[in-house]
């Protein structure tokens, strides 16, 4: 799989994963690659900047990314990280009296089938 930085004809930047360069071109030419922001199908690969600063990698590139960043900050500042004990914490909160406190967790790694 290849990850391409893409740009639509409205100037929106987004990413896409493709099986190959030919796969990207075939999907684009068939109108199957749509802009993640406006849905435009006039899309091309964006030129990769030769030098990328840390700020360029972390700054939101469009309103959708800015909204997701704000949502993530809100969740992170208003929740307690409980890690892999999310199920136990959620069950204890469900069974405890009073309003629940927000919690967040990372998905547990899947165990191989035995
Ligand atoms: Zn667009």
Take residue 29 and report the two structure tokens written for it.
């030419």
Closest CA to 37 of 66, 58, 14, 59: 14
Dihedral of CA 15/39/75/109: which sign?
negative
pLDDT tens-digit profile of 47-63?
765 555 555 567 887 88
Please state, as a whole number, how many other Cβ atoms lie within 10 Å of the Cβ of residue 86. 16
Residues with CB under 5 Å of ion ligand 1 are 8, 10, 12, 35, 37-38, 40
Same-domain check for residues 103 and 56: yes
Q: What's the pTM?
A: 0.47
Cα(51) to centroid of ligand 1, in Å?
A: 24
Same-domain check for residues 94 and 69: yes
Cα(37) to centroid of ligand 1, in Å?
A: 5
Tally of domains within the chain: 2
Same-domain check for residues 5 and 20: yes
Domain range for 89 is 50-108
Same-domain check for residues 38 and 55: no
Q: For residues 97 and 17, what is the distance between their CA atoms, to the nearest angstrom?
A: 47
Cα(18) to centroid of ligand 1, in Å?
A: 19
CA neighbours closer than 13 Å in the CB half-sphere of residue 99? 2
**pLDDT for residue 40 is more than 80:** yes
């Amino acid at each position: 799989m290849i990850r391409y930085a893409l740009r639509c004809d409205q100037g929106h930047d987004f990413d896409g994963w493709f099986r190959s360069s030919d796969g990207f071109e075939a999907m684009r030419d068939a109108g199957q690659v749509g802009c993640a922001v406006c849905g435009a199908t006039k899309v091309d690969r964006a030129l990769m900047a030769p030098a990328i600063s840390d700020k360029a990698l972390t700054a939101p590139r469009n309103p959708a990314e800015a909204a997701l960043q704000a949502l993530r900050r809100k969740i992170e500042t208003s929740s307690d990280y409980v890690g892999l004990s999310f199920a136990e914490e959620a069950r204890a909160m469900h069974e405890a009296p009073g309003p629940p406190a927000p919690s967040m967790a990372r998905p547990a790694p899947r165990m191989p089938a035995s």
